[in-house]
Amino acid sequence: MYRAPVEDIAFTLKHVAGMQEAMDAGQLGDLSDDLVDAILAEAGRFASEEMAPLAQNGEKGTPLKDAVVTTPEGWSELYQNWISGGWNSLTGTPEYGGQGLPTMLSVATNEMWNASSMAFSLCSLLTMGAVEALSAHASDDLKNLYLEKLISGAWTGTMNLTEPAAGSDLSALKARAERNDDGSYRIFGQKIYITYGEHDFADNIIHLVLARLPDAPAGTKGISLFLVPKFLVNSDGTLGARNDLFCNGVEHKLGIHGSPTCTMIYGDGKFGETPGAIGWVIGEENRGLACMFTMMNNARLNVGIQGVAVAEAAYQQALEYAQERTQGRAPGWQGKGMSPIIEHPDIQRDLLTMKALIQASRSIAYSCAHAIDMADSAAERGEADVARHWRERANLLTPVAKAFSTDIGVQAASIGVQVHGGMGFIEETGAARLLRDARIAPIYEGTNGIQAIDLVTRKLSQSGGEHIAGYIDELKVIAAQVARKNSPEFGLTADRLNGALSDLSEATGWMLRALQDGRMVEALAGATPYQRLFGLAAGATYLAKGALVETGDDSARIALCRFCAENLLAQTAALRDAVMQGSTSLLGARAALK
């Protein structure tokens, strides 16, 4: 069963992602080592002892009857215990009852929650996103009425974008809104794939719904965002009448069975005196997509940490199995009978690949969270240029944190099944559940292909390409430190890092020139291999950064860093070639798709 790797998480936060330096500089308020360690320790205890034991209950699904969803056994009580511990309010603004702690701590604890039970943890992920959107864009009246309950977790939030004919392309959206004389709106339409659109965790569910007004411009410029509660809320914060919306169906999915994925119906007259779900606009009319992207950016980083989390859970399970399962006699085995399969080099390769990729993706995700915290801290101090730098860093790392980490989640979970052999294909071991759960993460909150397009077409060109150049230079400084250390324990690490970062630099320059020259098709053809190249090069360099930290027990980190450099970084040259030379053959092979 999963045990939260609190020490690894704390080390990565403090010494790789940058939390220790920021705390020492007073950039994270009153945050201290003792407080960080206490939060992580208690989160690890809750995740390991209270959440993980109930994860398997989610496989029984979420039955729907008379528009009511019943969540798995024990989950509603678990949710109440979770919010009682203050976990939902970790990063919320103190003005509305939040603790005001850094994003880095939220991402770190979210790793533990999702490793314990990804399906359970999805509910809070959407609520946190709703808090972000309301905090940034809602009127004071809406904030005062809804934020405290959402930050505490007493009420939960959802994100309603997708429709049967409008998936990634929201210009096809058909949900409609009509103005009421009192400033409210009536919402009509159908939304699909709504995570925790209906459940029994909380008294109220606050839906954030994209819809179009009658006089709205065509396309995405005519989309507005509305707050539509399941139960209307009185001016004193008490619950009023049921709103005209309900769950019409729950999807039967490949994985995350304990998370109800709902089809929501708005305004068909099932509830309420007059058809139409009553809602209030968030921000300005026809500017809803900008509001929703605030929510989605938060969600994309946290989906990335889901990839790290599932990979970690799969690694722990595979490691335990490999230590117990005996088969054959590994070379050099001196024990009696068959050796544990962990003694076989091929199994060691599998497990080390999992562990290296987990630490690489964890470092990228935590570094993205660090950039968000540094941007917020600088903005509070009125340091506009510093804030812009860190905001651009967060922008750059977000698509990589989402896509690279979730690809790693699937890869690691698949390797985990392989390590189990035939037993991995049997449901009772739980290895298959992790693979099924992991598979959604590269799809939702913007597919990984969309993340690659975002990275290449929007994020590389920040500050005229100077930001990505500066970031690669920072990574090269770490590689140079490895070279200067000149330690035999690092083997060929410095050379391999320099090669990978050279590949990344060359591919980046090619991408920027392609965009400048208007060769968009060529750039898009190389976007996905470029994103993988970025993740491998950056992630391996972060492993080296951690290995350079002297704590008195560095051998394991150095060994893992060297394994990654000498066994996994050979891929970067091939990815560079795919970016720079693969478009002609890719586009020319269209005729083969028959």
Catalytic residue annotation: 445
User: Cβ neighbours of residue 101 under 8 Å, at least 6 residues apart?
Assistant: 31, 39, 90, 91
Amino acid at 381: R
Check the CA dihedral 1-8-125-398 and report its sign. Answer: negative
User: Cβ neighbours of residue 561 under 8 Å, at least 6 residues apart?
Assistant: 490, 493, 540, 543, 544, 546, 547
According to DSSP, the β-strands at 205-211 and 156-160 are parallel
The CA distance from 554 to 539, in Å, is: 18
Q: Which residues pair with 158 in a beta bridge?
A: 207
- Is-contact 318 351, C-beta < 8 A? yes
Distances (CA, A) of 93 to 29, 124, 150, 160: 14, 16, 11, 24
The CA distance from 451 to 395, in Å, is: 11
Chain centroid to Cα 205, Å, comes to 22
Q: Which residues pair with 533 in a beta bridge?
A: none
- Is-contact 281 226, C-beta < 8 A? yes
- Is-contact 392 463, C-beta < 8 A? yes
- Is-contact 448 442, C-beta < 8 A? yes
User: Cβ neighbours of residue 55 under 8 Å, at least 6 residues apart?
Assistant: 2, 116, 117, 119, 120, 258
The CA distance from 557 to 436, in Å, is: 30
The CA distance from 532 to 568, in Å, is: 12
Rounded to 10°, the helix 466-485/493-516 angle is 170
Q: Tokens 């690279």 map to which residue?
A: 404
Structure tokens at 36: 């960080």
Which helix (H) or strand (E) element contains residue 401? Answer: helix 384-420
The CA distance from 313 to 2, in Å, is: 6
Distances (CA, A) of 355 to 358, 362, 559, 564: 5, 10, 11, 9
Phi/psi for 68 (5° steps) reads: -115, 130
